[in-house]
Chain A
Amino acid sequence: MSHVATGSSSSSVSTRSASHADDGLARALAAIVGERRVLERPGELRAYESDGLPGYQKRPSLAVFPGTRDEVIAVVRLFAERGIRYVPRGAGTGLSGGALADDVVLLGLHRLREIIAIDSENRRAVVEPGVVNFSLSRAAAAYGLYYAPDPSSQTACTIGGNVAENAGGPHCLKYGVTLNHVLSVTALLPSGEVVTLGNSRGEMEGYDLLGTFVGSEGCFGVALDVTVRLEPVPQAVQTLLADFPTVLGAAEAVSAIIASGIVPAALELMDAPTIQAVEASIYAAGYPTDAAAILLIELDGPEAGLDEDAARVSRFCTEAGARAVRLATDPADRMRLWQGRKKAFGAMGRLASHLAVQDAVVPRTRLPDILATIERIGREHGVRVCNVFHAGDGNLHPNVAYDGTNADEAARVHAAMGEIMKACIAAGGTITGEHGIGLDKLPYMDRLFTPETLSAMCALRTVFDPEQRSNPGKVVPVHSCREWHGAPATRARPA
């Protein structure tokens, strides 16, 4: 996976290539953010050609990295005046190609990384969009609090990016996704207008514009600051590792645990190819390499009653055929077990030059069926699928490491992924649970939604961005949008 450079390379306007259509733009941007923060040379822009999915590469026409709120506003207003299209980007860890800028301007927001306030008594924090997810939890730890949504990239990804993608993570099973933790956002619309969405001090009446902004993948504008809810660090945590001789057995254990009403903080499944990839990497966590599947189960909350829940969970696993269930002995052991899970994508990345990362959701009772179907599809196309996923939510990640330079292999991977998506839709599921549509999932949108629904999405986007300049070409396939009967947005842009 590629992570972004910090944008510290120096350059000057005078030496920039003349390839950019509007040389005056770079100069005007440099006047706002400083010359060092505008990149225009192909060599400098290379680092921004892909996000967490190396399968896609698109080069921005130039990249600009404002460092303050006022600079962001000035940059976006300049874009508005000149009708410039742009793609907002946080840390570039996204897994749907959502932050790729195809010959349009890339607007990097990772320099806005101030934690503006932590209000421990009211359990909330106000942060700039470039604050790294995990650094918020680290700062909140002093108050016995943390920020619950924990994408696997949490040591790199930003809160602004999390808001754009409505990011999830293993612990969303119990605590909910980003949407459930954002109280309000100060948003900068593509017009340059600054609006407050949501209410961090009480209730909201009227349209839930905050709810639609979260997960809008940068198409509705960018966040200038985000007010999030913080959770108290649980009194006690127990992490269990269950080892299964069959994937089916692990899936059945998941169903039994969920049906019992126990809500684990996290309930993750990893299959044999994933376990082997992790154990062969520097992230080796001591997983049993001969297991067909393992479950990583975390229970948290008050100490009282937790042992009883852990005993029940353990029993469900044994009844579903687990060979062994072990409890993490101490925090270091727990960290190691989690490290293997959180770095699983990275470990798979070592297997071959490319990694196809998939993200789909099925109703939880369909997990055993869908895993069998995925196995069959992989076999038929001669590709090795590694499953590592949020089993408690039914949120699958069937990934394939492959050699992208081998056209035949790439085609087989592509075909298998398409069939897996179709199978998930047929099972009553969806095509993305937490990674977003971006570019990667665009082809599946009209399989999932009717033309009327896609048109409604287009129309909503037009309210926030009448000219569709922010993250153009993402999320909704324009070709499938029919004419919308509603009135076009008439709101005047501010001067």
Chain B
Amino acid sequence: MTTIAPPLDATSVAAAIREAHDARTSLRIAGGGTWLDAGRPVRADATLQLSALRGIVQYEPGDFSLTARAGTTLAEITDVAGRAGQWLTLRPHGSLDGTIGATIATASWGPLASDFGTPRDHLLGCEVVTGTGEIVRAGGRVVKNVAGFDLSRLMTGAWGTLGVITEVTVRLRARPELDRTLAVALEGPDERACDDATRWLRSTPYRPLAAELCSTTTSDRLGLEPRTLLLVRLGGNEPLVRAAERAVAELGTTAVVDSAVWDRLSASEPAGAPVVRLGALPTELGALWAHVSRTLASCGGASHATVTRGVVRCILPAAPTSGAIEELRGIMKELHAPGSRIVERMPEPLWTDVPSAVGDPLSSDVHRTFDPNGVLNPGILGHTA
């Protein structure tokens, strides 16, 4: 597969896409290249590399919004915003070398979504190049905006199949005065431990920045005591955080842990490990968590759950050699949920078991409208109708 010379602006991206559109060839869209093994297998004629399309375009701290080219790394944004006492409250799993464009395109999120929401709640506007090479500027730079139909939301989580994101404007927040993380040891069997955490989060007046339930194996990978733990991240002024800490102690024995634990969690999965996210209502989460724990125990997998969002992320051991693929298929099949099931990564042969995410008539029409020749990341979300 050839790689197309790094485009430096939206115009050159548009030229590359128009050429592919006219020649009826297809493009694999790549940002930092840190997560190219995610999503359904893509067969493309060439790779459109966006990592050169980088840099912060506009940042006025008092506006709490930042505009950056799509290839800008999360590390750079973290650094620049940090100097102004601010942060991008999106910390998806994986490397900080990942790009902001890919984070939005894949709608990737991490534990901070518990309080701050997912990429759709952070994106204020974006510039995209559609599959026909049209440059579209959706949304804007301000925090409230209902002008016209919302193309920004449409591009969020579209995995580049409707358009290549070339620039984004995201909402930032002030770093909390105090940022403390506690690990709470949860007692009892898995279901009860999870239900206790869910109930506490529902009844407490405090609103943690993050509350992530960790399986024994996950805790162990984080260098913590290998048992079921709830990691609670508290932010705010001193009296608020102190009071919240006392409230957390009602749930179980607590220990203060360094905030670096969150970066370790983001980096905790072995390279190439199959990952699937399962969703349920908060009241169904205990049963789901117990089911996942039982299933993963047999193969040495790990899991963690964003309790308030009702999502369990299951991390399997690194992908097996071809001989063990049927065994993995069996485990993956066991990992089902009442609400949603999203596979992040797994060996190519197993994807045939996964239904398309865009096979419904409306999504298929949306796709045809924005990329009629199927130029962009063909098949990464599954096939259209």
A interface list, Cβ under 8 A from B = 119, 121-123, 165-166, 168, 172, 176-177, 179-180, 189, 195, 199, 201-209, 211-212, 214-216, 219-220, 232, 234-235, 255, 258-261, 263, 301-309, 361-365, 390, 393-395, 428-437, 441, 445, 448-450, 452-457, 459-464, 475-476, 484-491
From 304 to 363 in chain B, residues with beta carbon under 8 angstroms from any chain A beta carbon are 309-311, 337-342, 357-358, 360-363
Say yes or no: is B132 at the interface (Cβ < 8 Å to chain A). Answer: yes
User: What separation, in Å, do the CA atoms of A263 and B237 have in the docked complex?
Assistant: 12
Residues of B within 8 A of A429 (CB): 140-142
Residue contact B142 to A394, C-beta cutoff 8 Å: yes
Residue contact B147 to A305, C-beta cutoff 8 Å: no
Q: A166-B146, A207-B162 given as contacts; is B134 within 8 A of A455 (CB)? A: yes
Task: Specify which of B148, B162, B280, B372 is in contact with A202 (CB 8 Å cutoff).
Answer: B280
Residue contact B143 to A394, C-beta cutoff 8 Å: yes
Residues of A within 8 A of B146 (CB): 165-166, 168, 177, 215, 432-437
Nearest Cβ on chain A to B379's Cβ, whole angstroms: 13
Residues of A within 8 A of B311 (CB): 202-203
Say yes or no: is B189 at the interface (Cβ < 8 Å to chain A). Answer: no
Residue contact B141 to A206, C-beta cutoff 8 Å: no
Residue contact B243 to A302, C-beta cutoff 8 Å: yes
Task: Specify which of B132, B135, B142, B370 is in contact with A430 (CB 8 Å cutoff).
Answer: B142
Residues of A within 8 A of B175 (CB): 261
User: What separation, in Å, do the CA atoms of A132 and B157 have in the docked complex?
Assistant: 32
CB-based nearest B residue for A365: B62
Say yes or no: is B239 at the interface (Cβ < 8 Å to chain A). Answer: yes
Residue contact A214 to B150, C-beta cutoff 8 Å: yes
- Of the candidate stretches B200-208, B209-217, B218-226, B251-259, the one touching chain A is B200-208
Task: Specify which of B147, B236, B368, B372 is in contact with A445 (CB 8 Å cutoff).
Answer: B147
Nearest Cβ on chain B to A95's Cβ, whole angstroms: 11
User: What separation, in Å, do the CA atoms of A122 and B277 have in the docked complex?
Assistant: 19
Residue contact A363 to B340, C-beta cutoff 8 Å: no
Excluding A202-B338, A361-B140, A394-B144, 11 further A-B contacts by CB distance (< 8 Å) are A122-B282, A180-B117, A202-B280, A208-B156, A209-B154, A301-B207, A393-B144, A432-B146, A436-B146, A453-B148, A457-B148
Nearest Cβ on chain B to A443's Cβ, whole angstroms: 13
Cβ-Cβ contact count across A and B, 8 Å cutoff: 276
Residues of B within 8 A of A304 (CB): 239-240, 242-244
Say yes or no: is B3 at the interface (Cβ < 8 Å to chain A). Answer: no
Residues of A within 8 A of B135 (CB): 450, 452
Residues of B within 8 A of A390 (CB): 144
Q: Considering residues B206, B361, B381, which has the most beta carbons from chain A within 10 angstroms of its beta carbon?
A: B361
Residue contact A122 to B283, C-beta cutoff 8 Å: yes
Q: A209-B362, A463-B365 given as contacts; is B239 within 8 A of A476 (CB)? A: no
Residues of B within 8 A of A463 (CB): 362, 365-366, 369
User: What separation, in Å, do the CA atoms of A259 and B63 have in the docked complex?
Assistant: 8
Top 5 A-B pairs, shortest CB-CB distance: A202-B279, A202-B339, A261-B174, A211-B153, A202-B340
Say yes or no: is B151 at the interface (Cβ < 8 Å to chain A). Answer: yes
Residues of A within 8 A of B277 (CB): 203
Say yes or no: is B164 at the interface (Cβ < 8 Å to chain A). Answer: no
Residues of B within 8 A of A394 (CB): 63, 142-144
Nearest Cβ on chain B to A417's Cβ, whole angstroms: 16
Residue contact B174 to A309, C-beta cutoff 8 Å: no
Q: Considering residues B131, B146, B205, which has the most beta carbons from chain A within 10 angstroms of its beta carbon?
A: B146
Nearest Cβ on chain A to B135's Cβ, whole angstroms: 6
User: What separation, in Å, do the CA atoms of A462 and B366 have in the docked complex?
Assistant: 9
Q: What's the tally of chain B residues with a CB closer than 8 Å to chain A?
A: 87
Residues of A within 8 A of B107 (CB): 208
Residue contact A261 to B176, C-beta cutoff 8 Å: yes
Residue contact B372 to A205, C-beta cutoff 8 Å: no
Interface of A is mostly: loop
Q: A180-B117, A486-B372 given as contacts; is B60 within 8 A of A212 (CB)? A: no
Say yes or no: is B136 at the interface (Cβ < 8 Å to chain A). Answer: yes
Residues of B within 8 A of A488 (CB): 369
18 residue pairs bridging A and B, Cβ less than 8 Å apart? A122-B282, A202-B311, A202-B340, A204-B157, A205-B357, A207-B162, A207-B366, A209-B154, A209-B363, A212-B150, A261-B176, A365-B62, A429-B142, A449-B148, A450-B135, A457-B148, A460-B369, A490-B365
Nearest Cβ on chain A to B133's Cβ, whole angstroms: 8
Residue contact A445 to B148, C-beta cutoff 8 Å: yes
Residues of A within 8 A of B364 (CB): 491
Residues of A within 8 A of B79 (CB): none
Residue contact A393 to B136, C-beta cutoff 8 Å: no
Residue contact A203 to B63, C-beta cutoff 8 Å: no
Say yes or no: is B64 at the interface (Cβ < 8 Å to chain A). Answer: yes
Residues of A within 8 A of B241 (CB): 305
Residues of B within 8 A of A209 (CB): 154, 362-363, 366
Q: A304-B239, A450-B137 given as contacts; is B366 within 8 A of A460 (CB)? A: yes
Nearest Cβ on chain B to A251's Cβ, whole angstroms: 12
User: What separation, in Å, do the CA atoms of A373 and B209 have in the docked complex?
Assistant: 39
Q: Considering residues B149, B280, B310, which has the most beta carbons from chain A within 10 angstroms of its beta carbon?
A: B149
Nearest Cβ on chain B to A420's Cβ, whole angstroms: 15
Q: A207-B363, A456-B130 given as contacts; is B205 within 8 A of A235 (CB)? A: yes
User: What separation, in Å, do the CA atoms of A432 and B140 have in the docked complex?
Assistant: 11
Residue contact A308 to B239, C-beta cutoff 8 Å: yes
Residue contact B370 to A486, C-beta cutoff 8 Å: yes
Residues of A within 8 A of B61 (CB): 259
Say yes or no: is B228 at the interface (Cβ < 8 Å to chain A). Answer: no
CB-based nearest A residue for B137: A453
User: What separation, in Å, do the CA atoms of A306 and B117 have in the docked complex?
Assistant: 23
Residues of A within 8 A of B142 (CB): 361-363, 393-394, 428-430, 433
Residue contact A430 to B143, C-beta cutoff 8 Å: no
Residues of A within 8 A of B63 (CB): 363-365, 394
Task: Specify which of A195, A301, A461 is in contact with B362 (CB 8 Å cutoff).
Answer: A195
CB-based nearest B residue for A259: B62
Residue contact B148 to A489, C-beta cutoff 8 Å: no
Residue contact B362 to A491, C-beta cutoff 8 Å: yes
CB-based nearest A residue for B361: A491
Residues of B within 8 A of A195 (CB): 360, 362
Residue contact A489 to B340, C-beta cutoff 8 Å: no
CB-based nearest B residue for A461: B149
Residues of B within 8 A of A365 (CB): 60, 62-63
